[in-house]
Structure 1
Amino acid sequence: MKWLSGAVLAVLMAGSVQAQTIVATGDLGLVVERASGSLLLVDQSDRSAIGRIEGLGDLSHASLVYSPDQRFAYVFGRDGGLTKVDIAEKRVAKRIVQSGNAIGGAISDDGTLVAVSNYEPGGVRIFDADTLEPVADIPTGSKTIGLVDAPGRRFVFTLWDAGETWIANLSSGAPEITKITGMGSNPYDALITGDGRLYITGLFGEDGLTALDLWDPAPAPIRVLPEYGRGQQELPVYKMPHLEGWARAGKAFVLPAVGHHQVLWIDADSLAETGRTQTHGQPVFAMSRPDGRHVWVNFAHPLNDTIQVIDTLTRKVIHEFKPGPAVLHMEFTSRGHEVWVSVRDAGKVMIYDTRTFEKRGEIEADSPSGIFFTSRAHRTGL
């Protein structure tokens, strides 16, 4: 069997030369099967599963990133596991347990370093992407969240307990650390914009958000929506929104409101609020179709069987449907013609046309959660 991935060509042969199948890894993706500690390898064009990779430990809150050639995935498990997966050979290439409790990771812009953000014992650990050998250990004395890659072989992350953001620059080898204080109370997650300029944290301990301009030689906290939510009756927070699921739609950010049935609209230049849209429930992901025309929103328990689609011009809900119980994640194809939806309690990944909303197919999966297409390999922050 022959697998083709841009400049990478892996030829798998047993005995004499046999009939060969060529599959481009740019058309593939991985679905996290959280209950069984496995990954389902899927083909976008065929809308089908083409393999399963097992033995990845606790994937109850797992995420992953891809190598620049799209052949390898680095999977961050809740049990502290860091697993390098070869999707061409459909196998675990290497696995280590680097901490007691991990919460995500990132890969450097040159693809040589993989960083992992830890709850226990806290801090960030950095590994060689090829061998998974340790490169650097950055203790923080705090749970770390919101770890992202930034241009220039940098990693940016935030401290839950201390309310600080640290920038680790590894362009010269050993990490050089810049610490920014005063980010706010209990930041719970963060994102970086696709151009690598703005790093935005959400705050759980107080209202609002905090941004950093990473183009500034001495970035300082910029408070965003400091009063949102004040004076309103807050609802119980059933699930924290994922900031990497925030939408950049044209000239606006679309953000899930913590503890409210709303998404918030923010001007991408001034960072001022420009509107709110009432939603079916507490949003978890507000994800922009790649062209920015629509935003797709899913919700926290107990209203997590529903997806709403919002028009970015009118900022009104134009479509609502119920794929099934426990919609956990959505992933657009690279040009946005389809969206893949994990429906955990139905044991399925469902595929929809993003313009007609027609269902195009479904794939059986074991408690599916995160869906990650290999096109993420070429995007900052993903």
Structure 2
Amino acid sequence: MVIERAAGRIQVVETTGRTHLGTVEGLGDLSHASVVFGRDGRHAYVFGRDGGLTRIDLLTRTITHRIRQAGNSIGGAILQNGRVVAAQNYAPGGIKLFDADTLELLAEIPATGADGRPSKVVGLADLPGQRLAASLFEAGEIWIIDASDPRQPAVTKLPAGRQPYDALVTPDGRWYLAGLFGEDGLSLVDLWQAPPAARKVLSGYGRGEAPLPVYKMPHLRGWAMAQGQAWLPAIGRHELLVADPARGWQEQGRVPVAGQPVFAMARPDGRQVWVNFAFPKNDTVQVIDTATRRVVKTLTPCRGVLHMEFTPKGESLWLSCRDDNRVEIYDTATLRRVATLPADQPSGIFFTARAQRMGM
């Protein structure tokens, strides 16, 4: 699926012949839309900025269900068993759980911190054991939610640090890692530990340096896990941080890049990390060889590169060119453009292979 943000619609595409199959209209405000898929890949759940939650049958390219579940929503997750869809909300905040077949509301979890004030929810991700993890921006907390009984979810609240802004779950489901906007470093939860606890890691990467202006928040959800290490955008820096889970998440290196990273995404085999950037470098994409930790190619494909997505086995990468109204497709071996598809101000690109991956 390719999000056409201004038009409130999505394109359905296929990656073998690199063709457009059809469109689905009437999806509301898609200016920060995200998508999760049912476990068989047939149904997609689209979370809109206007609080809309839409279930789409990709085979028939029709809307089966649509609700307005909040005033402002930025994403969601689907539980391990595929039966429950969860939405994370900015306004009025909180998390809602829905039946994946009917979008019936099963439970609502208000997001309030210790001071009782509402908080934006970010970094919502599915975990093993019918659980979810989420971060609360204003409250500075990480919540682990046991949704085994989705009508009565149980919440464990952990201190995270100042203003967690996004998070990722490692592919093995062990670690939940939240970036912190209000301070240097990240907050880490070992999900194998009982009870879980949060601790700070990489807290020294910006110490003694003046941070650069932040034009767009970095995204950790790109799953930049490669060569057994995490490749993370450093907020307010023009570099990626490399951390090793096997060595206590200590910093193993830094890679200078062209601008402020937004997405740092690992090719499925882990050999490459592709990075795009905030303004004024949002026309640039860089490719890093993870074996040498060096930038091996700098591309300027178009204006307004917003999102990237690898095909399931990584032979090509699709990227959205919002300001040039197209999607470009690159061969990841030759690093050359191999195809272009027209799209109306495209943003997110989401392939159904995500249905088989945790935290997506």
Q: TM-score when scaled to structure 2?
A: 0.96
Alignment deviations for residues 232-276 of structure 1 (CA, whole Å, 9 cap, x no partner): 121110001111014100121000010111011001222000110
What is the distance in 1 between the residues matched to 2:37 and 2:131?
17
Going from structure 1 to structure 2, the CA distance change for 1:175 and 1:228 (only over 3 Å counts) comes to farther
What is the distance in 1 between the residues matched to 2:193 and 2:47?
31
Find the partner of 1:53 among 13, 20, 24.
Answer: 24
Secondary structure of 1:194's aligned partner: coil
Aligned residue runs from structure 1 range 162-181, under 5 A: 162-181=139-158
What is the distance in 1 between the residues matched to 2:21 and 2:12?
6
Find the partner of 2:305 among 308, 324, 327.
Answer: 327
Find the partner of 2:209 among 232, 237, 242.
Answer: 232
Secondary structure of 1:314's aligned partner: coil
Say yes or no: does 1:254 pair with 2:235.
Answer: no
The answer as to whether partners of 2:84 and 2:150 remain within 8 angstroms in 1 is no
Identity over aligned residues, as a percent? Answer: 54
Higher mean C-alpha deviation, range 40-49 or range 165-174? 165-174
Letter aligned with residue 185 of structure 1:
R
The answer as to whether partners of 1:63 and 1:75 remain within 8 angstroms in 2 is yes
Partner residue of 1:99? 70
Letter aligned with residue 126 of structure 1:
L
What is the distance in 1 between the residues matched to 2:22 and 2:150?
38
Partner residue of 2:169? 192
What is the distance in 1 between the residues matched to 2:149 and 2:307?
37
Say yes or no: does 1:243 pair with 2:214.
Answer: no
What is the distance in 2 between the residues matched to 1:173 and 1:44?
35
Structure 1 residue runs without a partner (length 5+): 1-29
Partner residue of 2:350? 372
Say yes or no: does 1:89 pair with 2:66.
Answer: no
What is the distance in 1 between the residues matched to 2:147 and 2:163?
27
How much does 1:180 deviate?
3.0
Letter aligned with residue 305 of structure 1:
D
What is the distance in 2 between the residues matched to 1:76 and 1:199?
22
Partner residue of 1:358? 336
How much does 1:77 deviate?
0.4
Letter aligned with residue 83 of structure 1:
T
Secondary structure of 2:303's aligned partner: coil
| Number of positions where the alignment pairs a residue of Structure 1 with one of Structure 2 | 353
What is the distance in 2 between the residues matched to 1:121 and 1:199?
25
Secondary structure of 1:162's aligned partner: coil
Moved over 3 A (4+): 172-176
Secondary structure of 1:244's aligned partner: coil
Partner residue of 1:221? 198
How much does 1:139 deviate?
0.6
What is the distance in 2 between the residues matched to 1:164 and 1:302?
32
Alignment deviations for residues 308-350 of structure 1 (CA, whole Å, 9 cap, x no partner): 1011111010111111000111100111000001111110100
Partner residue of 2:179? 202
What is the distance in 2 between the residues matched to 1:348 and 1:118?
29
Partner residue of 1:19? none
Letter aligned with residue 74 of structure 1:
Y
The answer as to whether partners of 2:97 and 2:150 remain within 8 angstroms in 1 is no
Alignment deviations for residues 270-302 of structure 1 (CA, whole Å, 9 cap, x no partner): 200011011000000111110000110000011
What is the distance in 2 between the residues matched to 1:252 and 1:360?
30
Q: TM-score when scaled to structure 1?
A: 0.91
The answer as to whether partners of 1:247 and 1:287 remain within 8 angstroms in 2 is yes
Find the partner of 1:283 among 261, 276, 280.
Answer: 261
Partner residue of 2:116? none
What is the distance in 2 between the residues matched to 1:175 and 1:311?
46
The answer as to whether partners of 1:124 and 1:138 remain within 8 angstroms in 2 is yes
Partner residue of 1:8? none
How much does 1:168 deviate?
1.5
Alignment deviations for residues 188-219 of structure 1 (CA, whole Å, 9 cap, x no partner): 11111111110010000111001101111111
The answer as to whether partners of 1:246 and 1:256 remain within 8 angstroms in 2 is no
Find the partner of 2:3 among 32, 56, 64.
Answer: 32
What is the distance in 1 between the residues matched to 2:11 and 2:150?
36
Alignment deviations for residues 85-140 of structure 1 (CA, whole Å, 9 cap, x no partner): 11111111111000101111000111100000011111100100000010000011
Partner residue of 1:155? 132
- In our comparison, the structure showing a higher alpha carbon Rg is 1
Secondary structure of 2:188's aligned partner: strand
Structure 2 residue runs without a partner (length 5+): 113-118
Letter aligned with residue 2 of structure 2:
V
How much does 1:71 deviate?
0.6
Find the partner of 1:127 among 98, 104, 111.
Answer: 98
Letter aligned with residue 228 of structure 2:
K
Secondary structure of 1:181's aligned partner: strand
The answer as to whether partners of 1:59 and 1:78 remain within 8 angstroms in 2 is yes
Secondary structure of 2:282's aligned partner: coil
Letter aligned with residue 3 of structure 2:
V
